[in-house]
A and B are shown apart, each in its own frame.
Chain A
Amino acid sequence: MSDKTSLLLPEPRPAFTERYSNWIDRRAALVFPAPALLVVFGIIIFPILYTLWMALQDWGLAYPTPPKFIGLDNYIKLLTDDERFRGAAIRTFYFTGLAVALQTVLGVGMALIFHRQFLGRGLLRTLCVLPMMATPVAIALVFNMMYHPKLGVMNYFLSLLGLKPALWTFDSKSVIPSLVLVDTWQWTPLIMLITLAGLAALPAEQYEAARIDGANRLQTFFYITLPLLRPTIMVAVLFRVIDALKQFDIIYVMTQGGPGNASETINLYLYQQGFSYFQMGYASSLVVVFFTLVVGVSFLFIRMRRAAW
């Protein structure tokens, strides 16, 4: 197409496009990322700066009074005098730790299963991808119905196993494990897929050597497969840690932080402060603390991974 038009057009036009493309060419390393940088600045960096500024204000959006500058008071209150925040932080780590530990063990196990050839493997692998892509709100809704203490199918399954019915999300002790189960149902496949890809890339020679040396299956797994897979599993774990720290949809839809505050994580507390109480200043300081926490944990992991190499 472009060849034809350039033939039909008079002289100056190609000269112009040439000059224009020359200009792009010389500055390509700047021009190519420029639109994305603009967008990133607009939707990410500017909001962060705005948040940093707002965190220094006392500002309730619900009141007619304008924002009042109070310095670091929001942070001081948050970090030293907010029981609810402390509880939320503990719950966030509890949820994340439990979820990621469970998913890593199950995910690596599943990857070992799916690494073997068997009838219906492709079909079942597809089935395992589906939970990750399913709409979290819909999944949360279905689990809500399954967890119903009187009519839910989960308690029916428990009764089949001869166990006592549980209160699932309706009890402050079992609510977080119940939510972890939903997160695990949805995201274990990610660890499985990443590990599976790592397994496929493992060199065959070492297995050959181990077999000749008479290593049994367990030895092969613990002394060859696991050490070789460690970097891959670490990446999968990192992805999951970041997303589990941020989990919002499932918790909000299923419990909205309840019963009481028993499942209120930092993300949910932040939502409450910002969009229920409209305490924009205080919510902003929460944003900054939460942001630092997530990025900090992530970089810790990246560093650990480098050290592992």
Chain B
Amino acid sequence: MVNGDAGRHRRLNWHRIQQRVERIGFYLLVLLVALPAAFVFFWMLSLSVKTQVESTAYPPIFIPRAPTLRAYAEVFAKNPFYKYTVNSLVVGLGSTILALAVGLPAAYSIARWKQQRLALGILVARMTPGLSYLVPWFIMFKRIGLTDNYLSLILTHLIISLPLVIWVMIGFFEDLPSELEDAARVDGCTTFGFFRRIALPLTQPGIVATAILSFIFSWNNFFVSVIIAGPNTRTLPVAVFNMMTYEEINWGPLAAAATMVTLPVLIMTLFMQRQIVSGLTFGAVKG
């Protein structure tokens, strides 16, 4: 009897050890997955606050001994970075607002009246390589003298933001129960009234998610801006790329510029993580 008890005890202990080993292994796995994501950002920040000697030291120095903001000052001294930031903001906000204004009613219409052919068209627009629109756009803007201009940039950025807004919002509008509109109609609500007073407020989380995604994708965009933007409308990613061609191995200012472009987006993502994830995955899981 006593013997059997001890045996069970030992087995329990063994089981506990096995469980603990498994848990440690699991956390190691988690660490392995999370580490690369964290390291690249850490390295960017680290390079941006190191001195030139430290940033090109080998073996690399991971924690800077005397962090300095000199690289950031150098970026601002050498480039009109403030102007580029304003350009990026104007283009990002402009194209997002325009995409919402035009895309929301369209998405509602596709969801409400099941306009499958329109949806397919939007899907094709989403799939096409954006660069392919730029050859004709480039020629047209050259011909009508609309180069180096906010309007041309905002319009071209719609290539990215409009399909995104429509595609994500179709899912949100489809989730509205149809009884809702029937009830509103009985109460004398028009279609447009329903859209404005009921559908839009109810899908607000979705609208916020798409607006953020659209802004971020426009802010991040490089290939449209590098072709369409001129010296006066140059956006941040293009400015950073241009810096790369003359800074070569002066890593401090390069890392500082990279940090300044991507930090606003990262902060936005931290605060809006839930909305961004829902916006990115919504169509996928339902589809």
- Chain A window 8-37, contacts with chain B (Cβ cutoff 8 Å), 1 for yes, 0 for no: 000000000000011011001101110111
Q: Is the CB of A151 within 8 A of B223?
A: no
List the one stretch of A69-77, A78-86, A190-198, A205-213 in contact with chain B: A190-198
Contacts of A139 in B (CB 8 A): 40, 258, 262
Main secondary structure of the interface of B (DSSP, over half): helix
Once A40-B121, A194-B284 are accepted as A-B contacts, the answer to whether A142 and B43 lie under 8 Å apart by CB is: yes
**B125 sits at the interface (CB 8 A):** yes
Q: Is the CB of A44 within 8 A of B133?
A: yes
Residue of B nearest to A235 (CB): B284
Q: Is the CB of B102 within 8 A of A39?
A: yes
Q: Is the CB of B192 within 8 A of A132?
A: no
**Interface bin, chain B:** 35 or more
Chain B nearest CB from A233 CB (Å) reads 10
Q: Is the CB of B41 within 8 A of A32?
A: no
Q: Is the CB of A129 within 8 A of B269?
A: yes
Contacts of B155 in A (CB 8 A): 42-43
Q: Is the CB of A129 within 8 A of B129?
A: no
Once A33-B105, A133-B265 are accepted as A-B contacts, the answer to whether A113 and B223 lie under 8 Å apart by CB is: no
Once A25-B191, A29-B113, A232-B284 are accepted as A-B contacts, the answer to whether A118 and B26 lie under 8 Å apart by CB is: yes
Q: Is the CB of A156 within 8 A of B262?
A: no
List the one stretch of B7-15, B55-63, B70-78 in contact with chain A: B55-63
Residue of A nearest to B247 (CB): A141
Once A156-B59, A190-B280 are accepted as A-B contacts, the answer to whether A137 and B118 lie under 8 Å apart by CB is: no
Query: How many pairs of A and B residues are in contact by the CB < 8 Å rule?
Result: 262
Most A CB within 10 A of own CB, among B47, B130, B277: B277
Q: Is the CB of A28 within 8 A of B191?
A: yes
Q: Is the CB of A280 within 8 A of B280?
A: no
Contacts of A145 in B (CB 8 A): 43, 47, 251, 254-255
Within 8 A of A (CB), among B92-147: 101-103, 105-106, 108-110, 112-113, 115, 118, 121-122, 124-140, 142
Main secondary structure of the interface of A (DSSP, over half): helix
Residue of A nearest to B260 (CB): A138
Q: Is the CB of B261 within 8 A of A138?
A: yes
Q: Is the CB of B102 within 8 A of A129?
A: no
Once A36-B106, A44-B125, A235-B284 are accepted as A-B contacts, the answer to whether A50 and B136 lie under 8 Å apart by CB is: yes
**B183 sits at the interface (CB 8 A):** no
- Chain A window 211-247, contacts with chain B (Cβ cutoff 8 Å), 1 for yes, 0 for no: 0000000000000000000001001100100100110
Residue of A nearest to B29 (CB): A113
Contacts of B113 in A (CB 8 A): 28-29
List the one stretch of B31-39, B79-87, B201-209 in contact with chain A: B31-39
Q: Is the CB of B44 within 8 A of A142?
A: yes
Most B CB within 10 A of own CB, among A28, A54, A125, A280: A28
